[in-house]
Chains A and B, each alone.
Chain A
Amino acid sequence: MIFWDRENRAIWLRPRGFNLIQVPLTTAKLNVDASDRSIVEDEIRFSSGFPFVMALFLWTAYRLFSAAMAANANAPPLALFGGIAALVIVIGGFLNLRILRSRMEKLVQDALSELKDMQALGLAPR
C-alpha cells in the first residue's frame, strides 16, 4: 500500500493486510528525487508514539496491580513483579522489533524489485 507524500518528496509503504484501523509500528519511506520520478533512498522507520503508549501501558498495569496486590498479603512484592514484567517486555520487544524491521526490509526490497521489473518492461519513464 502506498501513500504519496508530495510535500516531503516521499512514498510511504505499509505492510499489506487487514490492518486499516491499527496503528502501524514500523513503516518504510522511499525518498524521491527532485524530479519526482526516481527513488533515491529508502528508510525503515519506527513509531514515535510507541514509547508513549508503552509507558502509558506500564503505568496503567502498575496502578492496576498495585491496587489488586495490596489486598493480598501472600502475593510477591510489587517491585519484583514489575521488574520481571519489565524485563520480559524489554527482551520480547527488542526481538519483536528486529523481526518487524526485517519484514519491512523485505517489503521494501519486494516493492523496489517490482518497480525495477516494471522499468525493465518499459512501463516506467526513462
Chain B
Amino acid sequence: MMLRIDRGLSQVWKDDGFEDPMNPDRFVKVFDVLDSGFRDWIFSAFGLIFVAIGIVIAVFPKIVKAAGIPFLDVQSRTRRFSRYVFLGFAILWTTISFSMTYSQYHRHKALAQENGCRIVEGPVEHFVPMPWAGHPVESFSVSGVLFSYSDFNVTDGFNNTSSHGGPINHDSYVRICYDPAGNVILRLEIRDFKGELKDYGKTESIFPKRGDIQKLDIKNPAMQMPWYDNLFVVLYFLDFLAIQTLFLPYIRTFFASRRCPSWIVQFPRVLSQERKSSFATA
C-alpha cells in the first residue's frame, strides 16, 4: 500500500485501492478555513493604495505641484476640501472592509474550531460549473443543501471553482462543514479524491504565471497567453502615469494643422503663469 503525507491539507492519500486503516471512510480534506487563514486581507489592502494617494494629495500638495501633475494640483477652497474628502473616504472604506471581512473570518474560524458548523454528506447533485470568466457562479447541492461560490467572491470560505482548478466535479462525494448563514463552506472533504493535492484555499495571483493558466482546462484560445501577457497590465499603469505627467510635453509635439495670425487680445492677470486655470465663466 502506498501512502502519501501532505502538509496539513490531507493526512492520508490512498493510491492502490486497499483500505487504509488510518482513514476508513476514505475522505480527503481538501479545504479547511483553519488552514487557509485570513485570506481576505488583500481585498481591504487595496484601499491602502487610495489612502496613500489621499495622503500625498491632502498632506503633501507641494509634492504634487513639484511633480507637475496638473489635475491633482488643486487650488480652490472647494477642491482643497474635496482632497480631504478623498482621503477620508479611502480611510473609511479600508477600515470598514477590513473590519467586516475580519469579523466574518473570526466567526467562521470559531465555528470550525468549536464544531459549531453544520455537516452534510452525500453525492454532489445539480452541479453547475462556472465558466472561467465567471457568471454564473459554480453551484451544487448535497442532500438538498445548496452551495454556490465563485473565485471572484470575497470570502474566507471555499470558493475555488472547477474552471480555476478546483477539486469538485459532478462525480464527487463530499462531506461539508458549513456556516448555515449563507451556506459558506468551512471545511470540505472529498471521498476517494484523485485530484492534485494542493492548497485550494490559496488566493489566485492577479499576475498568474503562464504555467498556472495552462494547467487549467480552458477551451478559449484567447486564454492561451504568450509570455508577455502580464506586461500589458504594467504598460497600462505606466501609460496612465505618463498621460498625467507628460501631458504638456506631449501636446507640444502636435502638428499645426491651421495657423491664424489673429487680432491681438490682451488677457487678465488672473491667469497666473505655470498653473492650470480656467476662464471666469467656466
Residue positions of A touching B, CB distance < 8 A = 1-6, 8, 11-12, 16, 20-21, 23-24, 26-27, 29, 33, 36-49, 101, 105, 111-112, 114-116, 118-119, 123-126
Contacts and interface: CB of A to CB of B under 8 A. Distances in A.
A39 B260 contact: no
Contact of B265 (A1, A20, A39): A39
B251 A24 contact: yes
B256 A5 contact: no
A5 B263 CA distance: 20
Interface string B255-282: 1111111111111111111111111111
B227 interface: no
20 contacts: A2-B279, A3-B248, A4-B272, A4-B277, A5-B252, A11-B271, A23-B243, A23-B250, A37-B266, A39-B262, A41-B261, A42-B262, A44-B259, A46-B254, A46-B255, A115-B267, A115-B268, A118-B267, A118-B280, A123-B270
B253 interface: yes
Given A38-B264, A49-B253, A119-B265, 18 more contacts: A2-B276, A4-B277, A12-B251, A21-B244, A38-B265, A39-B265, A42-B259, A45-B251, A45-B254, A46-B257, A114-B281, A115-B279, A118-B280, A119-B266, A123-B280, A124-B268, A125-B268, A125-B269
Contacts of A111: 279
Contact of B256 (A40, A43, A118): A43
A70 B272 CA distance: 59
Nearest to B281: A114
A101 to B, nearest CB: 6
Nearest to B251: A27
Contacts of B262: 39-42, 112
B207 interface: no
B70 A3 contact: yes
